[in-house]
Structure 1
Amino acid sequence: MAPSTTATSSRPTRAVKKKAPASSATSTSAGGRKSQKTATQKATTTAEGTKAPAKRGRKPTSIAVAAATAKGVSPSCAAAAATDLGISAEELAIYNKLTARMTAMNKAQKEAADLEISTRNAQLMAAELEDEMESGSEADEDEAPPAKRPRRMVLDEDEQEMASALTSLPQINSLPEEEVYMSEEEDHEKQNRGSEDEQEEDIDHGDASQDPFQDASNVDSGDWGSLMDNGLQVTSTSNNASENSKAISEDTSSTTPSTRHSTPQSTRRKSSAGGKSSGKITENSFSEKVVLLARAAKDFMRMRFAYGDVFPPTDPAGRATFAWDIIKQSSQSTPALREALKEAAASETTKKDLITFAMYGRNAIMNSIVSKARTKVEGYYQLSGGPQKIKDDVEWLIQDGAFMYGDIELQKRTFNCNKPFGSDLIFTIIKSQWFPSSSRSKSDSTTTVALVKDGTLPVSMIIFVTAAIEHSLKEYSTGKQTHFDFTEELSKASYKTHFNVWKVLETKSSRWALFWPKDLFKRLLASSNALASTDQDIDEVSARHVAKVDFSELDRIAELAEADSISPSPQTGLTASSAPAPPAPGPSA
């Protein structure tokens, strides 16, 4: 039997019992079960369609009122509605408490269930992820490629400029090349020259396949001076292949270039007869006498390029004649070079190699200039902002030759029309090539000394640098930089265009045409210390410092001082005979 309780009990079982019609609100708990059963039967009868008395129909209405109260109806309104329906205040309070408690319990149960599900899902995902990682690591260990060795590039700014001019090797089938090593003289010279000369020496060898003595059918005049083959001379004849194979097998002391300086000099030195390897002509290709002429000829070729001999004949015979004339001119400076010229002329092989080696100087300086232009145009003209903007900017720069004028403002589309060939980029490239701020490079020191002697710049130098800048700008004509070779055909067309522009300026304003190269030279000289190490500059400064000295008087003073130290006087430390006479008046200052 259930214990007897009052109507105010808060237990849920008792709360349900209190939900009785108004007529039985005062019933005791002892008859609660019977009342609950009776109410349930009545509610079932009503749901099945049996007509219930009006008194019994108040129960659903009371529940609806209580639910409305729980949903936010004000307590006063809910109390009034309960009074109208005959629900006591105690019953309404019990219902509200039960509703709130059940809601809280349901919410707590739902949150606990959600937390348990989330925790289980997280554990499952973590376990699945761990399984995948373990299986993936095992597969990676089976299929992973070997780790690459880190590479380190150590290039200075000038070397990077030189390297940017190099093009990729063509796909060819050839035997492995034999390493070419420097002679002792060349090794010593290159260590003294510096990194820029080392890079240009590599570019010098970049055109070995362009032999001036080749048949006309094998010469592409448009590619002379380019680096299409990077200096590799590849032939398909079996004789040449066997010779190369034999040379490789005989040279057992070969090492890689990276270990060249650690190799004893005796293993690097080769005879002049075997100096030509893998198609390249190096200083090892010549005797000790002729190698001096080879160096002088290459330097003289670079100077003649700066002074206007930019484009030699395109036919092989004419090209060979042009180079040989340069070699003969370079040999006139000393008797030793003249003797070397006689020795070279006596051998067709030596003469041929000497011509090829001299032409390296021209090819190297061409590629050096265009490399400097390539690395500087983007920053100087501020080519940025997306492909379409770059394309529009380059089109404006090239269309009317705006790029070569001074005081250019790309965004405003303005320039100083009274400063033709006045671009600061022209000044910068000429300074970098022929008036460097350091004395590392001496490849063009002969040219620099000649420029100082003349006191002006050759017009051809200004024009070729302008052509190189135009070529570098055209590489951005699609909106992004696309390298293409600065071939002789392309450079000649651009050079001719700007040369014609200069001729017009010279005709219309001859005084300016004389003034501008001199003014440009003065500014270059003032901004550079390139001449600090030249012999001519040192001799001139030394001569000025002692120009007013009486050298005979210096000798007389020294002679008297020596005599005084030999026979001193007891009183004064000087003898009467050795006392120096008053010095004769020297030349006035």
Structure 2
Amino acid sequence: MDSDHGSDEDDFQGIVTQKAPTGDNDEYYEDEDEKARAENFDDGGKDGPILDEQPNFRPIIGHEKAKSLVYSSSSSFSRKSSTLSSRMSSTSTSISTPTAVSLLLKIGKRRRITLDMFPSSLVDLATAGHTTMRLYIATQEGSPPPISRFKFTWNRLINASQGCRELQTKLLEVQSNEEIKTILIDYVWSAVAQVQGEIVAKACIIINGAYQIPGDMAPVQIKQAVMWLLETGAFADGDLNIKARTFNKQKPFCHQVLKDLIYNQGYGRKGEGVYYPEHFKGIPLALLVITTVAIKCSLRGYVNGNKATQEFSESVFKTRWEYYFKKLLVLQKKSPVWMKQMRDGLYQDILNLANLHYLGIDEDQMKDEDFGIDFEALKVIIIAQAA
């Protein structure tokens, strides 16, 4: 984490601040499989795991307008970066000096960079980049490596500018000014912790009803129940009965809590699942992963028998993200039909819960859909009226 800029964990204030006892080892793993899989995880130095094929669509500016954000491959990123660099010599620097001074004065000693600090000429670019990053974290990679934050974030800004000449022009101007570029990147990167924090905060509320914790259990019973949930991984599986200590391993990622959390995060009044349905259709694997990780992190607040805030760290979140990412990949590889049915069913259930079932209708269905209208009968009526 860069010390010169605001900590990404600032977005978790009030959620996770006290570290749970973890024994002699600094790294906490609920089961040995998680530790082994986390140690073996290797992203090959790529930009990030692309779990599902994502739609390509162009950005329209503003919160209401920035609904289309293009995701490019690493090779595409290289080509576009070269194009940007080759054009810099002829690019206007009209926003460079005055904008940099204005931004630096607004920031002062504040650690957090907010949208209202940017001049109007950069608001659209900052908004589009931030939105792109939020979508990427929710649907592609929930825990990107901080060590590559600069390149990773710049890549998202390039994605956000595709298809919009105005944004591309602004991005070229920003590239020529390191002060503005760094500030913009810090702002867009803040979306990572923002999305993680939102999901964890919602999970902390939802788990009480989902697992009847604390319910009528004494602290010692709560501790035992939570440790069992974490050690077995039962918290995410179907047919869970905490008191009987039973669950169905043949229903992985089928607990109601996953559905409730995805619904609360993505399908509320400002939910991105509503604004950007193309990215959330069929429940991306990454969305299942980040949701599962948030629930697990929230349950850890009860490992001592009483609710307590927990210290949150990127390393803990990333370790768990990688573990469940790999688990889902195994399911996807070995049971692709089951996975598709599970994800499609989960998506449709969430749409029905949000009264947004129409978002689940694809274009092919729309072409053949008659909406219950007898068009031949309409022709007869028109002919009769003409006579």
TM-score bracket, shorter-length normalisation: 0.5 to 0.7
Q: Match of 1:525? A: 351
2:190 aligned residue (327, 343, 360) = 360
Q: Is the 8 A contact 1:435 1:448 kept in 2?
A: no
Report the CA distance between 1:407 and its aligned residue.
2.1
| Secondary structure of the corresponding residue to residue 107 of structure 2 | coil
Rate the CA distance shift 1:166–1:507 in 2: closer, same or farther, 3 A. Answer: closer
Alignment of 1:490-529 (within 5 A): 490-529=316-355
For the residues of structure 2 that align with 1:302 and 1:431, how far apart are their CA atoms?
16
For the residues of structure 1 that align with 2:344 and 2:316, how far apart are their CA atoms?
29
Rate the CA distance shift 1:512–1:370 in 2: closer, same or farther, 3 A. Answer: same
Alignment of 1:153-552 (within 5 A): 164-165=14-15, 167=17, 271-272=102-103, 274-277=105-108, 278-315=110-147, 318-384=148-214, 385-436=217-268, 439=269, 441-442=270-271, 445-451=274-280, 455-529=281-355
Look up the equivalent residue of 2:299 and give its one-letter code: L
Q: Is the 8 A contact 2:122 2:170 kept in 1?
A: yes
Alignment of 1:81-100 (within 5 A): none
Q: Match of 1:21? A: none
Look up the equivalent residue of 1:457 and give its one-letter code: I
For the residues of structure 2 that align with 1:405 and 1:412, how far apart are their CA atoms?
15
Structure 1, unaligned runs of 5 or more: 1-160, 169-188, 193-269, 550-582
For the residues of structure 2 that align with 1:271 and 1:435, how far apart are their CA atoms?
37
The higher relative CO (CA closer than 8 Å, separation ≥ 6) is in 2
Report the CA distance between 1:408 and its aligned residue.
1.1
Q: Is the 8 A contact 1:395 1:477 kept in 2?
A: yes
For the residues of structure 2 that align with 1:548 and 1:279, how far apart are their CA atoms?
62
Q: Is the 8 A contact 1:475 1:481 kept in 2?
A: yes
Q: Is the 8 A contact 1:394 1:477 kept in 2?
A: yes
Rate the CA distance shift 1:355–1:544 in 2: closer, same or farther, 3 A. Answer: farther
Report the CA distance between 1:417 and its aligned residue.
2.7
Structure 2, unaligned runs of 5 or more: 1-10, 19-61, 65-100, 376-380
Rate the CA distance shift 1:477–1:273 in 2: closer, same or farther, 3 A. Answer: closer
Rate the CA distance shift 1:532–1:337 in 2: closer, same or farther, 3 A. Answer: farther
Rg larger for: 1
Look up the equivalent residue of 1:165 and give its one-letter code: I
Rate the CA distance shift 1:502–1:402 in 2: closer, same or farther, 3 A. Answer: same
Q: Is the 8 A contact 1:285 1:353 kept in 2?
A: no
Look up the equivalent residue of 1:322 and give its one-letter code: F
For the residues of structure 2 that align with 1:387 and 1:427, how far apart are their CA atoms?
28
Greater mean deviation of Cα atoms: 364-373 or 392-401: 392-401
Look up the equivalent residue of 1:275 and give its one-letter code: K
Q: Is the 8 A contact 1:299 1:444 kept in 2?
A: no
For the residues of structure 1 that align with 2:171 and 2:211, how far apart are their CA atoms?
48
Deviations 1:408-441 (A, max 9, x none): 11112222332110010011000001122xx2x2
Rate the CA distance shift 1:531–1:287 in 2: closer, same or farther, 3 A. Answer: farther
Look up the equivalent residue of 2:169 and give its one-letter code: E
Look up the equivalent residue of 2:238 and give its one-letter code: G
Rate the CA distance shift 1:519–1:402 in 2: closer, same or farther, 3 A. Answer: same
**Alpha-carbon RMSD:** 3.5
For the residues of structure 1 that align with 2:227 and 2:248, how far apart are their CA atoms?
18
Alignment of 1:103-182 (within 5 A): 164-165=14-15, 167=17
Rate the CA distance shift 1:413–1:167 in 2: closer, same or farther, 3 A. Answer: closer
Q: Is the 8 A contact 1:273 1:285 kept in 2?
A: no
For the residues of structure 2 that align with 1:342 and 1:498, how far apart are their CA atoms?
38
Report the CA distance between 1:163 and its aligned residue.
6.7
Report the CA distance between 1:292 and its aligned residue.
0.4
Report the CA distance between 1:395 and its aligned residue.
1.8
Deviations 1:291-316 (A, max 9, x none): 1010010011010112222232332x
Q: Is the 8 A contact 2:267 2:354 kept in 1?
A: yes
Look up the equivalent residue of 1:386 and give its one-letter code: A
For the residues of structure 2 that align with 1:382 and 1:289, how far apart are their CA atoms?
50
| Secondary structure of the corresponding residue to residue 146 of structure 2 | coil
Question: TM-score with structure 2 length normalisation?
Answer: 0.64
Report the CA distance between 1:462 and its aligned residue.
0.4
| Secondary structure of the corresponding residue to residue 296 of structure 2 | helix
Question: TM-score with structure 1 length normalisation?
Answer: 0.43
Look up the equivalent residue of 2:105 and give its one-letter code: G
For the residues of structure 2 that align with 1:506 and 1:293, how far apart are their CA atoms?
36
| Secondary structure of the corresponding residue to residue 479 of structure 1 | coil
| Secondary structure of the corresponding residue to residue 289 of structure 1 | helix
Rate the CA distance shift 1:531–1:338 in 2: closer, same or farther, 3 A. Answer: farther
For the residues of structure 1 that align with 2:176 and 2:168, how far apart are their CA atoms?
13
Report the CA distance between 1:502 and its aligned residue.
2.1
Report the CA distance between 1:529 and its aligned residue.
3.7
| Secondary structure of the corresponding residue to residue 275 of structure 1 | helix
Taking only the aligned residue pairs, the percentage that are identical comes to 26
Q: Is the 8 A contact 1:434 1:447 kept in 2?
A: no
Deviations 1:380-403 (A, max 9, x none): 111232111111111221221111
Report the CA distance between 1:446 and its aligned residue.
4.5
For the residues of structure 2 that align with 1:285 and 1:417, how far apart are their CA atoms?
50
For the residues of structure 1 that align with 2:12 and 2:275, how far apart are their CA atoms?
21
Look up the equivalent residue of 2:354 and give its one-letter code: S
